[in-house]
Amino acid sequence: MRFRVFAIALLLGLSCVLPSSAADSSWNKETDSQRDARMQWWRDARFGMFIHWGLYAIPAGTWDGKQVPGIGEWIMDRANIPVDKYEKLAAQFNPAKYDPAAWAQIAADAGMKYLVITSKHHDGFCLFATDTTDYDVVNATAYGKDLLKPLAEECRKRGIQFCTYYSIMDWHHPAQMRGSEQRHNPTKIRDGRKQEYMDYMKAQFKDLLASCDPAVLWFDGEWPDWYTEEDGREIYAYLRGLKPEIIVNNRVGKGRKGMEGINKANQDYVGDFGTPEQQIPATGLDGVDWESCMTMNETWGFRSDDENWKSAETLIRNLIDIVSKGGNYLLNIGPTAAGEIPAASVGRLAAIGRWMQANGQSIYGAQASPFEKTPWGRCTRKPMDGKTRLYLHVFQWPEGGNLVVPKVPGAVVAAKMLAGGEKLSFAEKDGDVRIALPSEAPDKTATVVVLDVKQQ
């Protein structure tokens, strides 16, 4: 194991082991067009799978025989479990039913183009092989194997970008002390041990990049006061030096406050995209990349008692709403301790996949709507063969069969159903475009009508 890590460091062209000045510093001369090229796959992807998995799936919301309120992955905090008691869960963690190929296939069949999985959540337990600690799946569990690397391989076989979540706040690392009862219980750093923890994180990033080479590092747990925006800039620079094409969210620094809800351009925070959570902003923001991360029920990490599932219709319409505002949708699943994805999640993902099979063109690579309001549903758009193609996602089928669309600059040259391609007649009148629709909506969740407009 130690030899393997050292050999990988050499294979990484020494950029990992030479002083940081020798690491690739080309990234910080990135032009706008180079940044656009780096972000292109992420912007085209539009839809990703979030996975919260770890020791917290064992108690699954219950501790000492009592249900513990709150999101499942916070049970160590919510039940006030001492470190030495919680870490005993590691010996019980043996996900015998874990099937990375099946997980990657479920994501692919749902139409998801990237996957972000917890490498280390706030509890500090590592799901990947690392020499930085024995509190990892290889050294501390009967399972004894890296969980992320095989999933990365199965994702890549299916054209899915593999990405990892990483929590800065760490309830297990000795350099941090668990917080008081403040909101989110931020940890405190022990005197003189911040550099030790910053170095620990950097060593873990090297292990992560060497073993599963994530396309995105998705930070979280950035709110403790001891961690600063400057620290975020240092970590961002370090990661871009190791892997110039990597994408990093705004929680590597303190940007979440500025970007939650996308209420301001992400100009003065480090990170490549904004991260509104459990919400869909009222509008996007031109030139700002952002992603809404949301659960399918109420919890991120598995809880055996959380059956409050959103319907497939809601999940599909969330995706459409988000993309119509120029964002990405990161939809969460919380696997069980045995390594199974809950059936309720699998069913909903399959339903989303069926919709995406017929209508994915209106999502992948699509941009924000040109319209302020569309009471009947949502609109996305993309350039197509020298024209602008508008995708009208109809949630409320119009009475009387005419879909009224605000006029856009240029001339409407064609209208049709996206699924099946049936041509539709249309007329421009009083500044609107009226499209004659069939009497019944072919897809009650969202039927997509295509309008091709030629700029004059």
Which residues are near ligand FHN by CB under 6 A? 71, 73-74, 220, 277, 293, 300
Smaller CB separation from ligand FHN, 184 or 444: 184
Report the distance separating Cα 110 and Cα 316, nearest Å. Answer: 11
Closer CB to ligand FHN, residue 28 or residue 182? 182
Q: Which is nearer to ligand FHN, 164 or 388 (CB)?
A: 164
Query: Tokens 């009508």 — which residue?
Result: 449
Compute the least distance from the CB of residue 118 to ligand FHN, in Å.
7
Calculate Rg over the CA atoms of the chain: 23
Nearer to ligand FHN, 74 or 397 (CB): 74
The alpha carbon dihedral of 126, 131, 137, 141 has a sign of negative
36 by DSSP, 3-state: which? Answer: helix
Provide the 8-state DSSP code for 282. Answer: S
Our CB check for ligand FHN shows the closer of 176 and 380 to be: 176
Of 270, 345, 269, 353, nearest in space to 301 by CA: 345
The least CB distance from residue 310 to ligand FHN, in Å, is 16
Q: Which residues pair with residue 389 across a beta bridge?
A: 382, 452
Give 123 or 452: the residue with its C-beta nearer to ligand FHN. Answer: 123
Q: Quick one: tokens of 216?
A: 């995105």
Shortest distance (Å) from residue 73 CB to ligand FHN:
5
Beta strands in 142-185 (DSSP E): 161-167, 176-177
132 contacts 203 by C-beta, under 8 angstroms: yes
Residue closer to ligand FHN by CB (options 71, 108) is 71
Instruction: Select 73 or 207, whichever has its Cβ closest to ligand FHN.
Output: 73
CB of 300 to ligand FHN, least distance (A): 5
Least distance from ligand FHN to the Cβ atom of residue 351, Å: 23
**Whole-number Å distance between alpha carbons of 149 and 129:** 9
Tokens in use for 242?
A: 């190791």
Q: Which is nearer to ligand FHN, 126 or 449 (CB)?
A: 126
Strands annotated E in 201-317 = 216-220, 247-248, 291-294
How far apart, in whole angstroms, are the C-alpha atoms of residue 180 and residue 182?
A: 6
Angle value at C-alpha 423, between 418 and 429, nearest 5 degrees: 105
* Least distance from ligand FHN to the Cβ atom of residue 317, Å: 21
Q: How far does Cα 294 stand from its chain's mean position?
A: 9
- Nearest distance from residue 43's CB to ligand FHN, in Å? 20
Locate 181 and state its tokens: 């009862």
Give min distance, CB of 214 to ligand FHN, in A: 16
- Nearer of residues 275 and 447 to ligand FHN, judged by Cβ: 275
201, 168 contact by CB (below 8 A): yes
The residues, ordered by sequence, that sit 6+ positions from 292 with a Cβ below 8 Å of its Cβ are 276, 277, 279, 280, 281, 318, 322, 327, 328, 329, 330
Nearer to ligand FHN, 121 or 434 (CB): 121
Burial 331-343 (b: 16+ CB within 10 A, else e): bbbbbbbebbbbe
Instruction: Return contacts of 85-91, CB within 8 angstroms, 24+ apart.
Output: 86/55, 86/123, 86/171, 86/172, 87/125, 87/135, 87/140, 87/172, 89/55, 89/58, 89/59, 90/55, 90/125, 90/135, 90/140, 90/141, 91/140, 91/141, 91/142
CB of 49 to ligand FHN, least distance (A): 13
Least Å from the CB of residue 158 to ligand FHN:
24
| 3 state SS of 420 | coil
